[in-house]
Amino acid sequence: MPSPVVHVAYALGFGTLNMISTKGSFTALHCLILALNGFFGPDIGAFIGWCFAVTFPMLADTVMSWIHHSVGYILIIAPIISFLTSRLSKKIIIWKCTEFSNNDLVSGHMEQTNRNNMSLNMKQCYLLAVAGCLLHFQLDHIFEENGQDNFYQWILSTGYFKKPTPPLSPLSVIIVGLSTLTLFFGFAWIHLFASSISKQSLKIRIKYTFTLFLIVISLYLSFLIISKIILKKEAVIGEEADLGVLVFLLEDFANEIFYEIFEYLDMYDIYKGFFNLNKRFENLIINSNFLHKINISKISKNDFKNFYINILIPNRHRINLLRLSNPFVVEIIFSPPRMVLQFIHLEKLVLDNIQMKYLRKIFDYLMYLPKFHSLTISIGDYIESINCLFSDLFNLLTLKYCKIEYETKNYEHSLSLYFPKYDSSSIQYLIINGRFSCKSLNNLLCSLPKLHHLSIKSLVHSRGYLAIEDLSPIQLKYLKYVSLKFDCIYFDNIEKILKGFFHYVQILRLTIKYDEAYLDAQRWEKLIISYLPYLRIFDINHQNSMINNNLTYHDTINQFNLSFWTKKKWFFTHQHNWTKRLNTGVFYSTNPYSKQITNIYLNYFPNVTHLTIKHYFQTSDDSIITTLKSIIPLVQLTKLTIESDDFSLEEIIELLRFIPNLYALRLNFLSNKETNAKLIKQNEKFQYVSKRNKIKNLDLCQCCSLNQIQLIVNLFPQLEYLKTCMNRKEIGQIIKYLLSKTNNKTQHLFFLCISQIPKICLKELNVLIKLENLLNDYSIKFINSDLYLWW
């Protein structure tokens, strides 16, 4: 009969599908109680009989016949377990509600939490116990020891035991036990106890659950294949049927169940994991009718071709989310641009590093997609005028979310934004990561009557701004959140905007450089009382020197400690850049809105996955590694950026030893000690990092020689994407080395970006690749002084 691992997986899987189909009404507690009764309850009798099979065989047989039976379990054990689990569920819910009231101040989670935090009474627990019992015996009867099914007979042939068999293999007991506990308590941790995950939406929690199932079942299946088929070890606690169960579950699941699972996964992940598994899954994916989420970031050209032919082309009309991070892919998918019209269900589009000329062509057709409402774009080349960009955005009548990132070559005239009349846009969330003229802000806001959320990374003063008439301010009734970063903008200019548009704002975050007028607490107090009556959160970060004011820096900032500020629980502090210049510093808000934490965790950030180190730092006693370990869990970092030039290669290698799961690395500088390259490669730490690291994306800002490229390739043999500058005299040699068919160290590499290079190199590199026959199928292009090569 199946082991505890499969019983628990079967019950949890059944419960998870119920969670999906009921949209969370069937809660995690229901699933856990179902799984507990799906294994632990019915197998109490089997476990007791198993333990006493040698010493008290009669007792073992009696217990087995009474308890390990559907009727016996329902009448004897189920009432006891239902009583205990109902009491336990109440304690868990009380704890969860207490944690929520203390820690979670986001009202958006309240409805979901109230629905999920309902304790189960004894009757409900009893019904779940009965259901779990029936699931258990259903699985047992399908895979009973003397079953005659031809398909599984070869798997189950070792499973006929006349009497319960005592444990003969401690390893099997340990692996089965650990797998069972990991599934059960991992599920409980995801949905109940992990503070950062359990409060997320059902969709996100299901993704974590699917990952948990995939990891545990894959590892357990590997153990079964090695132990029972290759090594032919004797089964101990039911593993003889587990292989058959797992095959059965995969092969005999209804298509609808797989479609339910696929809806929570990215389509490219589904394609990689299932398409080539067998003909059934191939047809299942080709003939699917659910909406697809497609994320194409780092992918080789050959893999993309197969995915494009098999999935993208036949399923354009089923895609609701499309994310493209490869500048070549956009041209292929939207060529000709009218192909956009075939994406009739497209709701969200993310385009990274797209050229403006292609973007404008796509805009002409996006406006005709009825469900399209979210656009995130990062423009790869310089734009001539933001006026054209925003005019195109405002023509998208169904657009609600817009995030744009751009660079302007002409920092003056290109920033002018001119609207001759009130062009009313449907945008509700607007995020601008680029230089935007402060003088254009008035007319921009006049065109966004439905705006809820506004964030602008760099508001600047434009001297070459064309003089135009400001439109009259309008009431932005829905605008609740504003985040602005000012670059040399006087308070007088911003005050007009605050008075005219921000009456209903509740959260205001400001980052400011210069103009000490922003440190006038009385001016802020009058402004907030008269024009910002709904303001709940006021965050400010100001860097400046006190020059024109007779008051000292400390006298000025102490005005923010008066009763007006403390009553609203707005608190501030400051730091000085130099101890000898106390009139210069950074004044900023502290954060009283987050949950209170104990002192031991005051400077520890357990959920960090991305780390940026801007400056080299030294500690008196501890190493850099020790210092970082005391702040963040290095083992869970996936992205690391080091902007300081002071880290040596040896220090970077030492740091990488403790970050085994790093996926992307960005460095400003790599050591130029080329004479020691051979010695470095022979170093034990270098060899260790080279064999263990998982880095696939490397962005190196410095200009590299051939020797340095060779060092990089040896250190990061899993590289798929490389962006760096190159010594122009050595570009030919470097390209030959990277694209050499005999170089095993670069076998995974398929994308190269050479930064800060003249356009003539595009032609030279193209000729070299064809002349030397380095690549058969590749694409190459030049964008903003960067050369891109994809193969």
The pLDDT tens digits of the residues spanning 666-681 come to 998 876 554 456 667 6
pLDDT bucket at 433, cuts 50 / 70 / 90: very high
Residue 437 has which token pair?
């003229």
> What value does the mean pLDDT take over residues 439-461?
91
Taking all residues of the chain, what is their mean pLDDT, rounded to a whole number?
80
The domains of the chain are located at 4-252, 290-550, 608-790
pLDDT at 378 over 90: yes
Over residues 67-124, the pLDDT tens digits come to: 666 677 788 778 888 888 888 877 776 666 655 445 444 334 434 444 444 567 888 8
C-alpha closest to that of 28 among 112, 107, 126, 109: 112
**Residue 127 neighbours by CB under 8 Å, 6+ apart:** none
- What pLDDT does residue 88 have? 83
Identify the weakest region by mean pLDDT among 69-73, 248-252, 583-587.
Answer: 248-252
Domains 290-550 and 608-790 alike in fold? yes
Question: What global pTM score does this model have?
Answer: 0.69
| Contact status, residue 53 vs residue 163, Cβ threshold 8 Å | yes
pLDDT bucket at 16, cuts 50 / 70 / 90: confident
* Run of H or E including 751: strand 751-754
pLDDT at 222 over 70: yes
C-alpha closest to that of 29 among 151, 107, 120, 105: 120
- What pLDDT does residue 62 have? 64
> pLDDT higher for 217 or 459?
459
Residue bearing tokens 């856990």: 32
Identify the weakest region by mean pLDDT among 399-403, 547-551, 603-607, 610-614.
Answer: 547-551
Residue bearing tokens 């506990």: 181
Distances (CA, A) of 26 to 33, 509, 720, 770: 11, 40, 43, 61
| Contact status, residue 393 vs residue 365, Cβ threshold 8 Å | no
* Run of H or E including 652: helix 649-656
- What pLDDT does residue 524 have? 95
Distances (CA, A) of 470 to 438, 447, 496, 610: 12, 12, 12, 42
pLDDT bucket at 305, cuts 50 / 70 / 90: very high
Distances (CA, A) of 657 to 430, 688, 697, 748: 41, 8, 17, 22
Identify the weakest region by mean pLDDT among 106-110, 313-317, 589-593, 707-711.
Answer: 106-110
Rounded to an integer, what distance in angstroms lies between the CA atom of residue 237 and that of residue 39? 13
pLDDT at 158 over 50: no
Over residues 667-724, the pLDDT tens digits come to: 988 765 544 566 676 788 899 999 989 999 999 998 998 989 999 999 999 999 999 9
- What pLDDT does residue 758 have? 92
- What pLDDT does residue 225 have? 67
- What pLDDT does residue 550 have? 53
Residue 148 has which token pair?
């005659």
Backbone angles phi, psi at 722, to 5 degrees: -130, 125
Helices (H), 22-106: 28-39, 43-51, 57-67, 70-72, 78-103
Residues 577/582/583/588 CA torsion (nearest 10 deg): 50
pLDDT bucket at 621, cuts 50 / 70 / 90: low
CB atoms within 10 A of CB 276: 11
pLDDT bucket at 448, cuts 50 / 70 / 90: very high
Over residues 517-571, the pLDDT tens digits come to: 888 999 999 999 999 999 999 999 988 766 555 556 677 778 888 999 999 999 8
Alpha-carbon Rg for the chain, nearest whole angstrom, is: 32
Provide the 3-class DSSP secondary structure of residue 642: strand
Fold held by 608-790: 3.80.10
| Contact status, residue 30 vs residue 18, Cβ threshold 8 Å | yes
- What pLDDT does residue 35 have? 84
pLDDT at 147 over 60: no
Fold held by 290-550: 3.80.10
Identify the weakest region by mean pLDDT among 334-338, 383-387, 436-440.
Answer: 383-387
- What pLDDT does residue 583 have? 62
pLDDT at 406 over 80: yes
Rounded to an integer, what distance in angstroms lies between the CA atom of residue 125 and that of residue 37? 10
pLDDT at 605 over 80: yes
pLDDT at 1 over 70: no
- What pLDDT does residue 159 have? 38
What are the strands of the beta sheet with 697-704, ordered from one edge?
Answer: 610-613, 639-642, 664-667, 697-704, 721-726, 751-754, 786-790, 779-783
| Contact status, residue 125 vs residue 119, Cβ threshold 8 Å | no
